[in-house]
Every structure is written in structure tokens, then in C-alpha cells.
Amino acid sequence: MVDLFFLKTFVSAARSKSFKTAAERNFITQPAVSQQMRALEKKLGGKLFQRQGKNIVLTSAGEILLPYAENILHQYTEAQSRIQKMESHYIGTIRTATIYSIGLYDLQPLVRRYLSKHPQVTIQLEYNQSRRIYEMVQNQRIDFGFVAYPKEMPGVQSTVFHNHKLVCVQSPHKRVFSKKTVTLKDLNEQPYITFSAKVPTGKAIDNFLKTKNINPRYIQDYENIETLKSAVLIGMGFSIVPKATIQHELKNGDLEIVNVNKLDIERPLAVLMAKDKVLTKAMKGFLSLITKKSI
């Protein structure tokens, strides 16, 4: 590989037609210039300079190299400038992937807030399953991943940034429970719409009910929160969902909360990133906003 500094010295010598001037411009000795040019000639396999009186001029090989060398140095300088700017300014792209419920109900307002302050940043948001999000973080295909109920994975670090309270809901137009407050035992044998066991939230709810020896009558399970809510809206049964995901339906009177004594379930939300991830200034600012260190 050719040393960039050798190319810089070569361009200085070619433009000034003097090794002495090249040495002065690059703060090295004249013998060092000669040594660098010999090394460059050996690497490229052709003589680059020839004497013409008191001056040096380019050979045919040198004429070929000059525009390439100048372009390489220009590209390097431009890349260096952009990198330095990215490290000190809020610019660049942040790649994220999230499960549907977090993206829709938690991330969207934060992303809007962040972009209103830093419009030169682009945030890519992809919806995917938890399993795929962990893989994407491990392979550094994304900068940040967002999941519920984080788990230990090699090369991945997680930070819980919020805990959702889970509540029991039903349709006010076709109630499962006539009382506003019930016990856990009252859930037994009642028609139940739930998250799929493939979904961490569904698995956590199932485990909770099993430890309490509660056995509702399973009607249907869904992976998507919106599909699940639709089933409850039409009166197929009750469900247990994050309260944050039903604010619109509560406000419009389409769903209602049933208070269940000792239904103590929280849903931790976490941001994932690779353990060896190098963060730009824009990424650090976004992460701080998510984890509420800087609001």
C-alpha cells in the first residue's frame, strides 16, 4: 500500500519542480524527499522524475500518476473533513429497528422531537421481530434496536428506558366482566385474546397467569398489537395489554379498563446496541434522549 504522505510529497515536488521546495512544504529534509520518491518509484514500478537543468520534471509515468495522486489526496481530505464534522455536529444517519408496539407508541414522539431539533440527521426506522432485531444489532446492520423484555445475548448490551404497566381491557359494548373491579380468579374460563407465545410480552403474561394458577379460555392469539386490539373491540374477549397502547381507544370510549386485583405485571422496554459500537455525536444525542438522560 502506498503511503498517503508519500503521495503528498510527490504532488508538492511535481507542482514546484523542486525537491527542496517539497521538503520545505512538508516539513521534512530534502534527502527524505528523495528517499520517499525512490520508495514510491519502487512500489509503482516506474521512474517518476527526471532532471531538466536545475529543475526536476515529471516522466511519462509521473504525468500519469499526478492526477490520480491529487484525486486521492482530495478524496482523503474530504472524507477526513466529513468524519470530523460528523463527530462534532448532529449530522448523519441513525439506523434503528423496533418491534411494532414500541415503534408506534414510544419511539415515534421521541423521533419527531429529536428531528425537530436536529433536522440534518436522518433516522431510518424498520419494524421487525425481536429475534431479528437482536441479530441485526449483533451484525451491526443497525445502530439501535428496541425490544420488550430484553435478554442476554453475546455482543449486545441493553438499557431499559421505560416500564409499561399492563392492564386488563374489554369492549364496553360487549363486556366480559360486569364489575369494574375483579380478582385474578375471575379471569378463569373467560374468553381471552392474547399475544402469541412467540412474542416476549405474550410469554411473560402467560408465565404470570400460570404462576397464579389462572386459566382463562383462550380464543385467539396475535403477534400484532393492533390486530389484538381489533379483536377485543368487536367483543371476542378480554385481553391484557400495555396501557400505553390503548390511550386513543380509552379516550374514544372504544375500550375500557377492568381493574384486576394483584395484576402486577410490568413490561420493560430496552434499547439495544452492540457492545463495541462506536457512536457519533448524533447517535449519542439520540441515545441520551431515549434513556432520558437529556430531555
pLDDT tens-place string over residues 95-129: 999 999 999 899 999 999 999 999 989 999 999 99
Domain that holds residue 60: 4-88
In the structure, what pLDDT confidence band is assigned to residue 295 with cuts at 50, 70 and 90? very low
Q: Which amino acid is at 33?
A: V
pLDDT number for residue 47: 95
pLDDT grade, residue 293 (50/70/90)?
A: low
Same structural domain, 136 and 274: yes
CA 11, CA 22: separation in Å to the nearest integer?
Answer: 8
Confirm whether 257 is domain-assigned.
Answer: yes
Please give the DSSP secondary-structure letter assigned to residue 237: -
Same domain, 230 and 283: no
The CATH number of residue 17's host domain is 1.10.10.10
Per residue, what are the HEC states of 160-210? Answer: EEEEEEEEEEEECCECCCCCCEECHHHHCCCEEEEECCCCHHHHHHHHHHH
CA distance 208 to 266: 11
Give the CATH number of the domain where residue 116 resides.
3.40.190.10
Q: Same domain, yes or no, for 35 and 113?
A: no
Query: Which pLDDT value is given to residue 27?
Result: 84
Q: What does the block give as the cell for 175?
A: 363486556
Query: Do residues 281 and 198 both lie within one domain?
Result: no
The 10s digit of each residue's pLDDT in 35-74 is: 999 999 999 999 999 988 888 999 999 999 999 999 999 8
Q: Is residue 295 part of a domain?
A: no
End-to-end CA gap in the chain = 47
Residue where a domain terminates, one of 71, 88, 105: 88
CA 122 to chain centre: 11
The residues that bridge with 194 in the sheet, in sequence order, are 221
Lowest mean pLDDT among 28-37, 56-65, 85-94, 181-190: 85-94
In this structure, the answer to whether residues 275 and 145 fall within a common structural domain is yes
Q: What percent of the chain has pLDDT over 90?
A: 83
Q: In which band, very low, low, confident or very high, does the pLDDT at 1 lie, cut at 50, 70 and 90?
A: low
Strands (E), 40-143: 49-52, 55-58, 92-98, 121-127
Helix or strand holding residue 147 (H, E): strand 144-148
Distance of CA 141 to the CA centre of its chain: 8
Q: What average pLDDT does the segment 240-246 reach?
A: 95
- Do 223 and 257 share a domain, yes or no? yes
